[in-house]
Amino acid sequence: MICLDRLMLEEMVLEAKKCSVAGEVADYIPALKKANKDTLAIAVFEGENTCSIAGEVEEKFTLQSISKVLSLAVALMDRGESTVFSKVGMEPTGDPFNSIIKLEHSPSKPLNPMINAGALAVTSLIVGDTMEEKLGRLLSFVHECTGNQNIGYDEEIAQSEYETAFLNRSLCYFMKQHGVIEIEVEELLSLYTKQCAIEVTCEDLAKIGYVIANEGKHIETGRQVIPLHIARVLKTFMVTCGMYNASGEFAIRVGVPAKSGVSGGMMAAVPYGPGIGIYGPALDETGNSIAGMALLEALSKRYDLSIF
């Protein structure tokens, strides 16, 4: 336990919030433009009845790229490592999350599951007879990790992304040509945009982070929600690729496994420690929450959370 001081957490939020002015909310998904750039919220979950919160914690936001960690968990449980990693690699990339450039390299498989191309390939592997069933698998996984059965997806944001996802469409068609994706592209995009639009609060995120942090076990139900070796794979990808092409600097400054999304959400999983959920929609040029990163850096330094 890091025994968080609530007042200290509130002060840290106020301090980190100042960075928001230098960021911008994502606008390439039209519905995300509505976010308030000044918002900053955090939840730190340390097990049963110990969740410290500060900032606008009642705000809901969509997972966006944070969902890549969850779809990877489900695909690995459904298909096993050898199938999943025959379609997607394990190496970080210095390119932006939506880059197409490395796809053309032989053997034409995306570099890792945390960039869009890799995540689309991973989502295509989730088992289910219909897209609804596949989405249902993902949602029940989220329900199980959070204990919150009310979590669903934001239809407006999903639709807004589906209608404008021309880059993701081109990634899919390229991968379909090369046999990385075997299912129908429009169906995959419809599933992927709903997966990205799953709507949570910081507290929900912190609880998911806690499961990943603590060997995949759920503290309240005692259930092994994620097999141990898969929880380790998730944390490793979060360290090496979780903040896209800012992952190296983030590892040095903050040093905890974390995953960000263009909604401004961030989920951190400190091994054998807390799960952390942050929401701050002002982004820097790499697509990471600018105030969220400052806040996590301050928290990591204050409570010595770096794993290195």
Ligand X SMILES: NC(=O)CC[C@H](N)C(=O)O
Q: Which residues sit at the interface with ligand X, rule CB under 6 A?
A: 64-65, 97-98, 116, 161, 168, 196, 261-262, 287
Q: Which residues pair with 199 in a beta bridge?
A: 62
Nearer to ligand X, 55 or 261 (CB): 261
Q: Is 194 a catalytic residue?
A: no
Q: How far is the CB of 29 from ligand X (least distance, A)?
A: 6
- Among the listed residues 13, 17, 44, 65, the single catalytic one is 65
The active-site residue out of 262, 263, 279, 300 is 262
Nearer to ligand X, 151 or 262 (CB): 262
Task: Select which of 20, 52, 68, 180 is catalytic.
Answer: 68
Nearer to ligand X, 4 or 135 (CB): 135
Compute the distance between CA of residue 164 and CA of residue 168 in angstroms, rounded to an integer: 9
Does residue 17 have an active-site annotation?
A: no
We find the least distance from the C-beta atom of residue 3 to ligand X, in angstroms, to be 33
303 belongs to the catalytic site: no
Residue 8: partners with Cβ closer than 8 Å, 6 or more residues away? 302
For residues 71-85, b (16+ Cβ closer than 10 Å) or e, as one string?
bbbbbbbebeeeebe
Residue with tokens 């507290």, as numbered in its chain: 203
| Annotation says 244 is catalytic | yes
Nearer of residues 45 and 97 to ligand X, judged by Cβ: 97
Q: Which residue of this chain has its Cβ atom nearest to ligand X in the complex?
A: 65
**Residue 31 C-beta: closest distance to ligand X, Å:** 11
Q: How many CA atoms lie within 13 A of 201 on its CB side?
A: 16
Say whether 162 is catalytic.
no
β strands within the chain, DSSP E: 41-45, 51-55, 61-62, 199-200, 258-260, 265-269, 275-279
Q: How far is the CB of 62 from ligand X (least distance, A)?
A: 8
Supply the DSSP symbol for 3: -
Residues with Cβ within 8 Å of residue 166, at least 6 apart in sequence:
none
User: Could you list the active site residues?
Assistant: 65, 68, 192, 244, 262
